[in-house]
Structure 1
Amino acid sequence: MNKCIEPDVRRIIIDCNSHSPRLSRTRTRSNKRRNRTMQIMSDVIAVLGSRHGFILEPNQNRIYLSRSNCHHDVPAQLIAEIEIDGERFAIPLGSDAPALPFLDQDTTPTRVKLTGIHPVTGYKLELQIITPFKPRDPQFSTTPVLDLQLKLSRLQSNFRWQPQKDPQTKPVIRLGIKADAISAAGTVEPGLLAWQTTTPRPDSRDRNQPSTKTHTQNDFWLVHRGQIEDGMVVAGDGEDTIHVSWACWADPMLSYHGELLPFRYHSAYPSAETLLDWCRNNPMAIQENARRVDAIFSKHNQSPSISYMQALTLHTWLVNTWWVNHDEREIFTVWEGSCYYHSTIDVEYTQAPFYLAVWPELLEYELDYWPEFVVSGDSILTDCPQAADTVVFMHDSGQCCAIDHTRYDHPMPVEENTNYVLLAYALWRRTGKDSFLKNNAEVIRKALDFLLLADTTGNGVPDRAIANTIDDASPAVQFGREQIYLAVKTMAALQTGSDILRHTGTDAPFHKYLDTARKIAATIQEKGWAGDHFVTLLDPSSHNVVDPWTGQPFPGEKLPGWDAAHIYTVNGIALLDMVGTGVAVDEDKIGIDLKQATWRCLDKYGCRHSEYDEPESQSELIGEGGKSKPNYRIGWISMNMLRDIAAFYRKIDLRTIPERYWNYQVLVNTQGPFGFFETFNGNNLMVYPRGVAIFGYFDALAGLQHDAVAGRTLVSPIDDQTSVPLLLFADWDKGTVPILRNGHWVDA
């Protein structure tokens, strides 16, 4: 492997305290900042693809089970408590006892830990919940077992100024679970509690037609340390620790074109008894794995907010995942958070830095799966006969517990076609694998041909079929003609798609693809640059612009906000940065646009979609006579992350801004059970998986460009003080990873 270090250059830092950019060559970072603790807040813990997990809401003293149900449908009580001289105190997850007077919380990619202190006696109670997440190990990671440990210890000195007193009797600690959805737990053999959990199994999110289907799962607590008393687990005589494996084995619950498919873990554990045997034989496996995996992710000197964001976003992504078998084929899909759509292509596109850096094979499953749900291009371009030999990728493939057809309100043809092509190209170059390309080459050709037909002016830029996923943005951002956002993506897709089809030997009009890409580049150069930023629209006219939500023409002569700065110019470039592929947009202008757009769109919790904010004079043009005035100050945090990645590759330092993202997660999760909350200033995208885009930060800060097809690996760090792990090359079994440290590649 070739490892080349480029020298540092001058770079820009966006200071989140001043909103203004400043130039710098270096910046020191104190490792002491990494010791900052968290507030007590909601979090999530779940097993990859196996529908076993829960959302923790300590501020409301409850949890929510995550099985076949929507995220907040099944409240439950996880009881973790201590009894001191007849008085009970608890970590507030469901006990009817008062909360311990002092509470602390910590989180890592594999675990959540809550700690409570009883100041009078100095006793400390720690509850740790761990998931078996190990990247690139499907069998271990999908094992439907959570590791629970409740540990009692005592402070060596007084808590603050509270004199420490000895209790009259030895404290007792207890661990238990209760919910209306579960049957009473019973002891089926020494050291084994068993019960059944019944949850809703909806096929749709339509609250007006609630699901009448239910699904029952078999739950077990296998007690490694402790003893069972009255349906609870208590510490044994002379013991200070309870250790339990919480196993869940379920019959199929996901419908695939009407057929219920078994979970992937069924191939390793065909029955509940085989799963329990694994727990008995491997009592420490999940804890030992957690130490190795967390150690890899923690080998950096960046802000604690990045570590916390990685943990929260990974936990939230996990609770949205499904992994099932269909005959000899594996199907991996991810819910779109509180929308519950299956494997939304644009959402998975934004999550791709996680796949490319941590677990590429998961993206490969999706790339082989999405072509099942394409539609003919003439169903979109109904007046274009040539579209009959083209395809359009649909937004999603189903909802809730049913994979069958797209459920979103309207298609996003140009956007989803470009997303698929760019994802396929990035994965191919990152891994060198090409079977998914060969399997789907003809579909890729037809998707590219549709992009050609989406341009009616001859400049290459799509001006029809251009509604996009940014569905709470201004009309200019969301459905304006000739968007810079889609222009760059289309240009990149035509360029990279040509490479794919040449590689697969597919007959295609390569010259048309590349000529169109060149036309788009020239149009962007001619009409897109506004002196210090790229405008939102190359064509500001509202002529023939139709609101996809209402089906009505948009009023007025120009779309408001057409010339505003926005954060989407580089959205189609960030994944290509990870594999070292450039596009024909002036790099100097990209850098200027990144700086200016970030500064001008910056808000309290990150950057909103664009700098445009509707004036009062425009309020009658949109909504119902201004009665439902739109809010154009909304921002999506994961879209900020993708922008950050492109900026880091260009040595534009935005590392102060993720503090804002974390502040927002703390704000919302101290007030509700939301996991990663994507949207600020409006909208309601919660328990949302897309935040795992932040796992691309380490590659981008290292300037890592890895192209397995070309056999090229380059690093060009953002500065000479940055230390980050290069996750793609980690050995997750051994817990080792090469590090880019102080400008040098340090092998594991």
Structure 2
Amino acid sequence: MNLFATSVSRLGSRFTLVFDPYHRHVLHSALGRWIDQPLDLTIGVQTESGEVVALPFTREAEMFDAVEQELRLCGVRYTAHSVKYGVRLTLEVTAPFYPHDVSTSIAPVLYFTLRVQPQHRLFWTNTQNPLQQGRLLVRLKREGLQFTALPDALAMEYVISQVADDRFSIKDFIVGDTPPTAHERLVPLTDGASIDNDGLSLPFDFSRGEEATLRFAWCAYVDAPVLEVFGKPMRFLYTRHFASVEDVARFAREQQDTLLRKTAFTESLLDEASLSKSQLDLIRFSFQNFLLNSWWVVDEQGEEWFSVWEGSCYFHSTVDVEYNNGLVYFAFWLPLLEKLLDEWARFEMQDEVGSYLAHDMGTHAQVGSQAYPHPMQVEENANYLLMLHAYWRWAGNLAPARRHHALCKRLVNYFERSDTTGNGFPNEGVANTIDDASAAVQYAREQVYLAVKTLSACHAAAQLASALGDAEWQAQCERIVTRIRETLDAHAWLGDHYAVCLERTAEGLHDPWTGEPLHGELSGWDAYSIYTANGLLYLLMSGHTPPVDLWRMKQDIANAYRHALTEYGCTHTSADKSNVWLSQNLWRDYIAAYLDVGLPDNSSRYMAMEQLMNTAGLNKGFIDTYFTNNLCFYPRGITSIGYLFAMCGLQIDRTQGVVRLRRTAPYPCRVPLLPLADWQQGEVPFVTYHLTDAGVTGALEGEKLPGGLRVEWY
């Protein structure tokens, strides 16, 4: 594929490199994106006469004639061609990752593998004097970067004292007043490699072989508090596993085969999935952007904290963002979601209506209170209950619900009290996640989007109440569901779609951002919206049919898609063309797949926007929004992992011991059932859809699923 800016990062450890070929540098920091600085990185081939041809991450060398880029789930691969020198250079950057393996996934280490081979022709042009001997070359240059050549590594050190966001200073991003020092190592893993004053090199001679390979590990370490949680300074969790950067380097050297083998296995699962290239690339690209936002830290007593920045907004584990990100926990690491469910429970807030969850946990390097300018009471309460219910069903673990039983009852109480008209639809505390949208979409009273999500959350809470033996709470939840359903059927349906909101006037409505009153007709109240069914997905994933008119929901999805579609996806509504949010398009696509609506695959539209936003001088990482917003280096793109669930209609309910799979698929394919993996044994079941006389029909590979789960086909 064409070159575009691409990130590689670690789970919870922040060590990140952003490869930016258009600015010809790499953004580099052991504290990650936004706390980074440009690094001139020469990776290429040096001739015997001293000429250097390099990948486009330096301004100090000649460029290759053509460079390809291939995204990987755990890194990126570049292949460069030079007709002048008659060589092909391949660079693969690997960020080790293996689900449920903490050391592998958090270790602050990246592997670089360079391989040079002869290539005497490019298109119809032959190389006149092909290079026979030379050196593979790695050279670094950055302001404030100090080098020390050691016997077994190149040591690097720098003070993390600058940030890449002009709105803030370094003090916003660190704990205390003293900027921390980062310690790094380039560790050669290939015999014969030289440790130079500012890099590494390896001689090659094609007369002795058809290729030469240089591999090295790039290790980082910050031995200082990096996050303050409720007033307590916390260090990266990796400091509990590794005492120093030397320990990291030793681990990278001694465990390279194991780490790379485990990572290759993880990547192979996605490679073998029968998704389209644009679907695969979207997952790969966004996974690294999710990782670069993650923080996994620990205090002196060993208490851990996990949270995820909201990209360029810096809020920690925004509930409505993690509502979408949650799919990656269901795919790879469900215990991390349990951590978040426990952590969010510490952020209960109150207003005149009742109890609600904070929008976020804090911002920058501080966790302890909501930082967002205003709450999203109904939104976040519903999101929490839906995730808690889905966790219970997928994990078969009711313990978090038991721990937070009383809190959940208070959250449901908010729903009931926020309905001041008695029709079930909330009209207090209704500012929602779509915070760049029009008034009708973002904070109107009696929104259909929030009503359906509230209905779904109360349906989920009723099942939790039953499991917890709380009949009174169950009855309350069921009453709310009934009220909303009656109003939804009687007053929200407009013939071929649902209204955005029941309110048609802005009188009495205040902008939550400014506090200013609004007047006149509420523009766009009757538009086609892509958000109506948003609250249904987690119920569908656990095999529970939401108590709504599914035929109307399917019509609403199909018609809104047609009326709101643009070059890169659907806008919020047919009337509100202010922006495109890719994560919400993805979420809608999965609901459509579970309901068998038959929408086309739009991943090529979504990936086209990502490439646009990371070429020709732009460097936005995964960006969720079009040009009128800037939700960049954003974690929400990992919503794309849901393609694997939607393809086979995966439903899991461990409380019933059942896994349900769609009997047919759109085309013959093979899908890994990641949530059913036994990662300790390295065993992952697949469902395969074959072309038969009866059409495309699914079958489970292997005789049975782990844990005694039975398969039902639908």
TM-score normalised per structure 1 = 0.87
Q: What residue identity is the alignment partner of 1:370?
A: W
Q: Which has the higher contact order (CA 8 A, sep 6+)?
A: 1
In structure 2, the partner of 1:647 is 592
Residue 445 of structure 1 contacts residue 508 of structure 1 at CA under 8 Å; is this kept in 2?
no
Structure 2 spans left out of the alignment, 5+ residues: 206-210, 691-696, 703-714
Task: Give the Cα separation in 1 of the matches to 2:579 and 2:336.
Answer: 30
Moved more, 537-546 or 731-740: 731-740
After superposition, residues 189-338 of structure 1 pair within 5 angstroms as 190-200=151-161, 206-207=167-168, 211=172, 213-225=178-190, 226-236=193-203, 240-251=212-223, 252-326=225-299, 327-338=301-312
Match of 2:319 among 315, 327, 345: 345
Q: What residue identity is the alignment partner of 1:230?
A: N
Alpha-carbon distance, 1:270 to partner: 2.8
The answer to whether the aligner puts 1:741 opposite 2:666 as a matched pair is no
Across the two proteins, how many residue pairs are aligned to each other? 679
Task: Give the Cα separation in 2 of the matches to 1:535 and 1:168.
Answer: 68
Per-residue deviation, residues 624-647 of structure 1 (Å, max 9, x unmatched):
xxxxxxxx3301000001001101
The DSSP-based 3-state class of the residue aligned with 1:60 is: coil
Task: Give the Cα separation in 2 of the matches to 1:440 and 1:543.
Answer: 38
Task: Give the Cα separation in 2 of the matches to 1:169 and 1:569.
Answer: 64
In structure 1, the partner of 2:42 is 79
Moved more, 669-678 or 463-472: 669-678
Task: Give the Cα separation in 2 of the matches to 1:611 and 1:423.
Answer: 29
Task: Give the Cα separation in 1 of the matches to 2:164 and 2:688.
Answer: 46
Q: Structure 1 residues 201 and 139, CA, compared in 2 at 3 Å: closer, same or farther?
A: farther
Alpha-carbon distance, 1:439 to partner: 1.6
Per-residue deviation, residues 262-304 of structure 1 (Å, max 9, x unmatched):
2222222233333222122113233222321111012222210
The DSSP-based 3-state class of the residue aligned with 1:728 is: helix
Alpha-carbon distance, 1:370 to partner: 0.8
Moved more, 251-260 or 64-73: 64-73
Q: Structure 1 residues 437 and 205, CA, compared in 2 at 3 Å: closer, same or farther?
A: farther
Q: CA RMSD in A?
A: 2.1
Q: Structure 1 residues 644 and 58, CA, compared in 2 at 3 Å: closer, same or farther?
A: same
Q: What residue identity is the alignment partner of 2:699?
A: W
Moved more, 321-330 or 688-697: 321-330
Q: Structure 1 residues 445 and 256, CA, compared in 2 at 3 Å: closer, same or farther?
A: same
Q: Structure 1 residues 171 and 397, CA, compared in 2 at 3 Å: closer, same or farther?
A: same
Q: Structure 1 residues 201 and 264, CA, compared in 2 at 3 Å: closer, same or farther?
A: farther
Q: Structure 1 residues 73 and 230, CA, compared in 2 at 3 Å: closer, same or farther?
A: closer
Task: Give the Cα separation in 1 of the matches to 2:347 and 2:449.
Answer: 24
Residue 505 of structure 2 contacts residue 519 of structure 2 at CA under 8 Å; is this kept in 1?
no
After superposition, residues 6-405 of structure 1 pair within 5 angstroms as 38-68=1-31, 70-71=33-34, 73-84=36-47, 85-155=49-119, 158-167=121-130, 170-183=133-146, 185-188=147-150, 190-200=151-161, 206-207=167-168, 211=172, 213-225=178-190, 226-236=193-203, 240-251=212-223, 252-326=225-299, 327-376=301-350, 380-381=351-352, 387=354, 391-405=355-369
Match of 1:567 among 523, 527, 530: 530
Match of 1:477 among 432, 436, 441: 441
TM-score normalised per structure 2 = 0.91
Task: Give the Cα separation in 2 of the matches to 1:606 and 1:116.
Answer: 33
The DSSP-based 3-state class of the residue aligned with 1:197 is: strand
Per-residue deviation, residues 662-702 of structure 1 (Å, max 9, x unmatched):
11111111132211110024201110000111111111120
Task: Give the Cα separation in 2 of the matches to 1:261 and 1:204.
Answer: 23
Alpha-carbon distance, 1:708 to partner: 0.8
Task: Give the Cα separation in 2 of the matches to 1:261 and 1:571.
Answer: 36
Per-residue deviation, residues 56-86 of structure 1 (Å, max 9, x unmatched):
1011101112443652642212220212343
The DSSP-based 3-state class of the residue aligned with 1:324 is: strand
The DSSP-based 3-state class of the residue aligned with 1:611 is: coil
Over the matched positions of the two proteins, sequence identity in percent amounts to 30
Alpha-carbon distance, 1:201 to partner: 8.0
Task: Give the Cα separation in 1 of the matches to 2:633 and 2:333.
Answer: 21
Residue 634 of structure 1 contacts residue 679 of structure 1 at CA under 8 Å; is this kept in 2?
yes
Q: What residue identity is the alignment partner of 2:336?
A: L
The DSSP-based 3-state class of the residue aligned with 1:509 is: helix
Per-residue deviation, residues 292-326 of structure 1 (Å, max 9, x unmatched):
11110122222100010011000111111111124
Residue 249 of structure 1 contacts residue 272 of structure 1 at CA under 8 Å; is this kept in 2?
yes
Residue 319 of structure 2 contacts residue 360 of structure 2 at CA under 8 Å; is this kept in 1?
yes
Q: What residue identity is the alignment partner of 2:196?
A: E
After superposition, residues 525-564 of structure 1 pair within 5 angstroms as 525-556=489-520, 558-564=521-527
Q: What residue identity is the alignment partner of 1:740?
A: T
Alpha-carbon distance, 1:407 to partner: 0.7
Task: Give the Cα separation in 1 of the matches to 2:540 and 2:118.
Answer: 51
Match of 1:492 among 431, 445, 456: 456
Q: What residue identity is the alignment partner of 1:187?
A: A
Task: Give the Cα separation in 1 of the matches to 2:687 and 2:84.
Answer: 45
Alpha-carbon distance, 1:230 to partner: 2.4
Residue 702 of structure 1 contacts residue 740 of structure 1 at CA under 8 Å; is this kept in 2?
no
Task: Give the Cα separation in 1 of the matches to 2:522 and 2:169.
Answer: 35
Residue 205 of structure 1 contacts residue 400 of structure 1 at CA under 8 Å; is this kept in 2?
no
Q: Structure 1 residues 87 and 206, CA, compared in 2 at 3 Å: closer, same or farther?
A: closer
In structure 1, the partner of 2:605 is 660
After superposition, residues 382-531 of structure 1 pair within 5 angstroms as 387=354, 391-505=355-469, 508-531=472-495
Structure 1 spans left out of the alignment, 5+ residues: 1-37, 614-631
Q: What residue identity is the alignment partner of 1:86?
A: G
Alpha-carbon distance, 1:576 to partner: 1.3
